[in-house]
Amino acid sequence: MKKFIRTAVITMATAAMLASTGCTSKGAFKDGTYEGVSMKGMHGELKVEVKVTSGKISAVTVTSHKETEGIGTAAIDQIPTKIIEKQSTEVDAISGATVTSVAILEAVAGALDKAK
């Protein structure tokens, strides 16, 4: 029960932080490849690489993680595509992989901050 409450609090705090950063508009970034890191994966550090081409997010790759195969990896498989489609980190978390989803979004937001 304590783990659930801890996870819920971390998730809500991270979601609030991400919401405060706001949506990103299309074409708002400098071209390049940027790295982002989140320490809030289910099992620790999660790293991403974000590629920006013509001012738009063109690729998001999780380069390092310790997430549970089949659970956390569901978010790793789906969230990057959603970010590219929306050109924003304002995407829904994957059910059952909320902590990993939020960690990916946080890491991508950090990478995109470097691209501004």
Residue with tokens 């801890």: 6
Tens-place pLDDT, residues 73-107: 999 999 999 999 999 999 999 999 999 999 999 99
Burial, 24: exposed, middle or buried (Cβ in 10 Å; 0-12, 13-18, 19+)?
Answer: buried
| Termini Cα distance of the chain | 40
Tens-place pLDDT, residues 2-39: 565 555 545 555 555 555 454 444 568 999 999 999 99
Length of the chain: 116
For residues 72 and 96, is the Cβ–Cβ distance under 8 A? no
Which residue ranges make up each domain of the chain?
A: 2-114
Q: Would you state the pLDDT for residue 24?
A: 46
Sequential DSSP letters for 1-45: -HHHHHHHHHHHHHHHHHHHH----TT-S-SEEEEEEEEEETTEE
3-state DSSP percent of the chain in helix, strand and coil, to 5: 45, 25, 30
What's the whole-model pTM score?
A: 0.77
Asked if CATH classification 3.40.50.720 holds for the domain at 2-114, the reply, yes or no, is no
Q: Would you state the pLDDT for residue 28?
A: 87
Give 69's DSSP letter: T
